[in-house]
C-alpha cells in the first residue's frame, strides 16, 4: 500500500460508525437525492443525462497517470482550475 491509498470503502453507515466512530454530516439518502444519473462515453465524446437533479457543479475527470503522487496530480489539473475561485480535489487509484 502507498501513502494516501484507501484500504476500505464504506457503503454501510452503521458499519462505519461501529468501526471508526464517524458519522457523515449528510445522510446517504439525502446525498443520493442530489445526484444526477449520467453516462459518459469517452469513445464518442458524449455525455447522456438520464435523470437530472441539478446541483450547480462542474465535474472534470483527468487521467493523471498511474504513478503520479499528489503534487503531480494537482500539477496536471492546474490548467483546468485557473479561473476557479475554489475547487474540491480527490483521486482514486
* 40 CB-near residues (< 8 Å, 6+ apart): 46, 47, 61
Would you call 9 helix, strand, or coil by DSSP?
A: coil
Check residue 60 and give its pLDDT: 79
Going residue by residue through the chain, which has 93 residues, state the pLDDT in tens, using 9 for 90 and above: 666 665 655 556 666 566 666 666 666 566 656 666 778 888 898 888 787 776 677 777 788 888 888 788 888 888 888 888 887 777 765
Q: What is the pTM of this model?
A: 0.44
Amino acid at each position: 500500500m502507498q501513502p494516501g491509498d484507501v484500504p476500505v470503502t464504506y457503503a454501510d453507515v452503521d458499519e462505519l460508525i461501529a468501526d471508526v466512530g464517524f458519522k457523515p454530516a449528510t445522510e446517504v439518502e439525502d446525498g443520493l437525492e442530489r445526484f444526477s444519473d449520467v453516462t459518459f462515453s469517452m469513445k464518442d465524446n458524449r455525455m447522456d443525462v438520464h435523470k437530472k437533479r441539478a446541483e450547480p457543479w462542474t465535474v472534470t475527470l483527468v487521467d493523471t497517470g498511474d504513478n503520479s503522487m499528489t503534487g503531480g496530480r494537482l500539477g496536471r489539473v492546474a490548467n483546468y482550475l485557473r479561473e476557479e475561485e475554489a475547487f474540491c480535489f480527490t483521486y482514486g487509484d
